[in-house]
Amino acid sequence: MQATSTEITLEKVNQAVNAILEVLGTPETELHQKALTAFQSGDHQTVKRLASTNLSDYYVKSLGYLGGALKLTVNTDTILAESARSAADFTKEKALKQLGDAISAALD
């Protein structure tokens, strides 16, 4: 039986971050583009500020967590999990909107 490594490395965290970014997809609003650009440039404080002033936006919330994950603390697992949950919530809300619009168009 092979032992599972519990050591967190920047390489492992970056793999998780990339998976979350893939789920978030391409930004479709100016806010999302601003948050993603800030995240990619390492300006995590701006992303956190955007998340704190756009409380119901799961895309920005997910990115807001990710900057903290890159610090490799004892909380990295939790931070990644919260970011992943927010990314999943974002895709769920996007799908619900799309389906609602489709149903509305079909029934009108």
Question: What pLDDT does residue 6 have?
Answer: 76
Q: How many CB atoms lie within 10 A of CB 38?
A: 20
Question: What pLDDT does residue 73 have?
Answer: 94
43 belongs to a structural domain: yes
Three-class secondary structure assignment of the chain: CCCCCCCCCHHHHHHHHHHHHHHHCCCCCHHHHHHHHHHHCCCHHHHHHHHHHCCCCHHHHHHHHHHHHCCCCCCHHHHHHHHHHHHHHHHHHHHHHHHHHHHHHHHC
32 belongs to a structural domain: yes
1 belongs to a structural domain: no
62 belongs to a structural domain: yes
Question: What pLDDT does residue 5 have?
Answer: 61
CA distance 52 to 9: 28
60 belongs to a structural domain: yes
- When divided into structural domains, the chain yields a total of 1
5 belongs to a structural domain: no
Q: Are the C-beta atoms of residues 60 and 30 closer than 8 Å to each other?
A: no
CA distance 66 to 45: 11
3 belongs to a structural domain: no
46 belongs to a structural domain: yes
Give the model confidence (pLDDT) of 58-107 as tens digits.
Answer: 999 999 999 999 999 999 999 999 999 999 999 999 999 999 999 999 99
Boundaries of domain holding 65: 10-107
